[in-house]
Structure 1
Amino acid sequence: MLVAPLAVMTALREPDDPRLSVGAAPPATLVPGDIRDATGRMIAGAVWTGLVTYDPRTGSPVPAAAESITSGGDRTVWTVRLRPGGRFHDGTPVTARSFTDAWTAVVREGWHGARTISEVARIKGASDKSSVEGLKVSDDRTFEVTLDRPLNGFPALLGDPAFLPMPESVLRSRDWSSYGRRPIGNGPYRISAHGPRETVLERPNARTIVVKAIPKPADQYAAVEVNRLDVATAVPAERHETMDSEFRNRHLTLPGRTMTHLAFPSWEKRFTPAVRQALSLAIDRTAITEGSLGDQATPANSLVPPGVLPGRREGQCRLCIYDPRAATAALTDAGGLNGTLNIWHEPSDAAWVETIAEQLRKNLTIDVQPRPLPTADLRKALDEREVDGPFVVHSIAPYPAPVAALRPLLEAGTGYQDDYVSDLIDQAESATTPENGVTPARLAESTLLRDMTAMPLWSPHDHFVWSERLHPITATPFTGLSLSRLALKN
């Protein structure tokens, strides 16, 4: 059994500590509109109540701070009505301006959530750094949001931390650094202490929750094994095979909402659909997810990540099935591939890119060379069309709908243009309901998989294990672990 370092173990709770403890990597920030990692989203889900949350069984949005979110039928103008009586932890009321002014601040400050507001939601005027034209307050409980184009998934998008409210005092002072050290939310838990080693969350008539900064999955896992920690939010690769026997019904694999692809530049004409299909068949995705990725990802069988529900279909990517003989035949039928195949990627992806390169060299007898570049340099090379081979794309579905996973592929820098696919994705976003948008999204997915302009590889997932004293945990791909639902067994 692995034993965590003494310094880590002694920082955790004593066996009789009545508090609930969770191990996680430290959050980059707790300023809601700037939250960018899993720990930040997890804490935000307990400290703030957003307009919507997500049903852990279906993934569908459920009203939270919002009493209603409605559109007159065009899915472009949305009216948000708040529940009465909402208050921040400092006692001040949660009003319509708590949301609209917070969203404006996110855009003005250029925080992580700014892209979600301006490029995903496309709120009218969100590119303006001083005001957002598409936000209009009607009264203390009602505001109107105007988008640049129809989006039936707008209510589902509002569960993202980019859309959380902030109190008037903070919005007026703009003292973001102080606010980040002791955020004031409107959710079930308030932060009583926040530092580099732990964040303490308190709630009346409930047990205190301590989120411990434990970056290494092995330390988290070992601490739960010896009852020094209640929940580990990560499992080390070397314990994946023994996780079931060691924790039995006390572990959870949470499907993800992100996907890793190899995308192809449209200006390189040698990468015909037939060549791209052959390359996909020559890649053993399972060998990589179980090898260099350490069982932390699920091999792709669709363009839509497994955590994106409802509307996702399993097994849509038949060309994602490893078949080296079929790959060789397909490449021969396509006329072969002349010259070196460069795979462009960020340095952090080097290990698995080299594995793919080795597989393609072996299975297709072609020259393959990884081409690592820092993120900014890779983007510049794409903009200037200097990229001459497939490049790595990590896409994310911003809300739970199939079309939310497909839209980013049209904006991945490939230069891919297909009026049929673009029209289908527009139809999926502007349909009268998200359910009515599923069929055009599926048709678009089928065409994208046939063209293989972005080859799906795998979808990262999360692992959790918990102590014997806890009830089973609840988690969703869009919020992570639900801290407010942690409970001791009777």
Structure 2
Amino acid sequence: MPATRRATLAAAAPLIALAALAPAASAAEDGEITVAACPPGTMEPAELDEDCGGEALGAMFTGLVEYLPGGPATRYAVASSITTRDNKVFTVRLKKGWRFHDGTEVKARNFVRAWSHGARASANGSYYFDHIAGFGKPTRTGVLSGLKVVDDHTFTITLNEPFGGFVPMLGRLAFAPLPDSFFASPAEYHKAPVGNGPYRFVSRTDQDVTVERYDDYSGTALPAATRIVYRTYSDWDAAYKALRDGQVDFAPNLPRTTGLGGRVVNTPSGGIHVLNFPMKQPRISGNADFRRAVSMAIPREAVGEEFGASRVPADSFVPPPTPGARRGTCGEACAYDPAGARAALAKARAAGFTPPRTFTIYYNADARNTRWARLAATAATKALGGQVKVVAKGVPTFADLLSRATRGRLAGAYRWAWLLDTPHMSDVLATYRTGNSSNFTGYSDKGFDALLAAADRTPSPARAATLYRRAEKILARDLPAIPLFFYRNVAGHSDRLSNVHTTLFGSLDVRSVEL
């Protein structure tokens, strides 16, 4: 998904008076911990992202599969098996006896009804279900046509087309089951949400969501913390200060790490920051060597210092924690080389391309983008020997940036970021596929599309990864976008916690943390 939520908390979040809060350490005796979080909205799995807004629900629900602590690998959770021959039709079998917090058993219908409910057009997370047959086509029963209940513990999933990243995606919060009581009375559910995970709901205020360990949890092991308070902060700077002052035990998305005594977790994230080129505007983007010249003219390491520890230079199109991804696939095009950039520019001219005298890098001004964009533009102008003047220009919001890109109203490259919906190579590579709804570059290559399609049909992960990497080589050749930075998850914790891991999506892994 486009990276929009994680950078900042909602402006409407209540501002907490930090001095009025009791230190987190006072709760040490009873195993309670306090976690800084985004403001929660509607407490339904398909309405919230577990990395921002859905942190409490992430502790309250368990899906068919779950991600291992600290990484993208998955293991079966509620599912006992998920099988397929073609990555299009899947048969799911559930473990018997898995219970919701109200004591009812988790059955196949709880997944089918929950996913169909989450796929409705008004749901914030409906895009997670767009691979499933029937998405966007309401039925009389309200159930997606691609979901079929076989018996209490078995159901089938049929996709619109093969998708190799589907099973890893099932660990996302959106794919959690909902109890029968939700459908009997949604209003009552929202007063006291019922999940099936290691923690159950206790209470909610304007500032906090509190959950407690569910000692009858059906999973493999109980977590160490007996109670978690998810506390909303107005912004990540406020959360950082609360952590530094001992008022919370964990805070993600740290703007800085000073004063924490080394209690910092810095791990690869599933995010990538690129510059997209408008490929349907040949006067701007009509030559790969020109695009290569722009890429080689940007000193990623120096520019990335603006982000602190949360970015590192990108040298491929697929974020490094993704299974099967390899570093360096962008080659010399992603290395800072002023002489090489000028040579690529000369090669573009020799091929008959006339570079624009002024080349614009657009960015959304509603986030922390102005300084890095200006630094990149100034450095690129110098590296290109002044032959092309590179300038940075802000537009008001990210939504405005996308709108202008979609309508072909940007006369230059523009900032774009992608956070993996599923830890799979196809998730990001598909954004360059012909006709993909997230392909804002307008790039199209038959060979690339064919390789993605072949990889998505291939049940063998190793064989599929080989095909995806061949497709990535085509991107490195054509450069419809230039990779700039990989995201990092930078979080901090109090001295009360040990064995601290973040999930791939940046939130605290509550199953593995110890006190």
- Please, what TM-score do these two structures have when normalized by structure 1? 0.89
Unmatched runs of 5 consecutive residues or more in structure 1: none
Cα distance change on mapping 1:139 and 1:233 into 2, 3 Å = same
Corresponding residue number in structure 1 for 2:466: 439
Corresponding residue number in structure 2 for 1:166: 178
Q: Which amino acid is the alignment partner of residue 464 of structure 1? A: A
Cα distance change on mapping 1:306 and 1:62 into 2, 3 Å = same
Which of 399, 411, 415 in structure 1 is aligned with 2:422? 399
Checking the alignment, whether the CA contact within 8 Å between 1:263 and 1:392 is kept in structure 2 is yes
Corresponding residue number in structure 1 for 2:79: 66
Q: Is the counterpart of residue 325 in structure 1 residue 339 in structure 2?
A: yes
Distance 1:39 1:260 in 2: 19
Which of 144, 151, 168 in structure 2 is aligned with 1:156? 168
Further displaced range: 193-202 or 327-336: 327-336
Distance 1:58 1:294 in 2: 22
Checking the alignment, whether the CA contact within 8 Å between 1:65 and 1:82 is kept in structure 2 is yes
Distance 1:186 1:460 in 2: 31
SS at match of 1:392: strand
Q: Which amino acid is the alignment partner of residue 247 of structure 1? A: G
The list of structure 1 runs, each at least 4 consecutive aligned residues, that deviate by more than 6 angstroms after superposition, is none
Which of 249, 252, 271 in structure 2 is aligned with 1:258? 271
* Shift, 1:28, TM fit: 4.1
Unmatched runs of 5 consecutive residues or more in structure 2: 1-14, 216-224
Checking the alignment, whether the CA contact within 8 Å between 1:474 and 1:482 is kept in structure 2 is yes
Corresponding residue number in structure 1 for 2:135: 126
Cα distance change on mapping 1:314 and 1:180 into 2, 3 Å = farther
* Shift, 1:472, TM fit: 1.8
Distance 2:320 2:190 in 1: 33
Which of 350, 354, 358 in structure 2 is aligned with 1:340? 358
Distance 1:37 1:188 in 2: 15
Q: Which amino acid is the alignment partner of residue 285 of structure 1? A: R
Which of 101, 118, 129 in structure 1 is aligned with 2:113? 101
Deviations 1:27-47 (A, max 9, x none): 344321011361334323310
Corresponding residue number in structure 2 for 1:316: 329
Cα distance change on mapping 1:190 and 1:57 into 2, 3 Å = closer
Cα distance change on mapping 1:480 and 1:376 into 2, 3 Å = closer
Checking the alignment, whether the CA contact within 8 Å between 2:34 and 2:230 is kept in structure 1 is yes
Which of 311, 324, 332 in structure 2 is aligned with 1:297? 311
Which of 167, 181, 186 in structure 1 is aligned with 2:196? 186
Within 5 Å, give how 1:365-404 maps onto structure 2. 365=386, 366-369=388-391, 370=393, 372=395, 374-404=397-427
Corresponding residue number in structure 1 for 2:11: none
Q: Is the counterpart of residue 235 in structure 1 residue 254 in structure 2?
A: yes
Taking only aligned residues, the RMSD between alpha carbons, in angstroms, comes to: 2.4
* Shift, 1:109, TM fit: 4.5
Cα distance change on mapping 1:469 and 1:114 into 2, 3 Å = same
Corresponding residue number in structure 2 for 1:92: 104
Cα distance change on mapping 1:86 and 1:37 into 2, 3 Å = closer
Further displaced range: 332-341 or 146-155: 332-341
Deviations 1:30-85 (A, max 9, x none): 321011361334323310011101123652221001111111x1221111111111
Checking the alignment, whether the CA contact within 8 Å between 1:304 and 1:405 is kept in structure 2 is yes
Distance 2:16 2:148 in 1: 55
SS at match of 1:442: helix
Corresponding residue number in structure 1 for 2:222: none
- Please, what TM-score do these two structures have when normalized by structure 2? 0.85
Corresponding residue number in structure 2 for 1:467: 494
Q: State how many pairs are aligned.
A: 470
Distance 1:181 1:375 in 2: 34
* Shift, 1:192, TM fit: 0.2
Corresponding residue number in structure 2 for 1:356: 376
Checking the alignment, whether the CA contact within 8 Å between 2:65 and 2:74 is kept in structure 1 is yes
Corresponding residue number in structure 2 for 1:115: 127
Checking the alignment, whether the CA contact within 8 Å between 2:164 and 2:426 is kept in structure 1 is no
- What's the % identity of the aligned pairs? 33
Checking the alignment, whether the CA contact within 8 Å between 1:396 and 1:408 is kept in structure 2 is no
Corresponding residue number in structure 1 for 2:442: 415
Corresponding residue number in structure 1 for 2:290: 275
Cα distance change on mapping 1:41 and 1:428 into 2, 3 Å = farther
SS at match of 1:334: helix
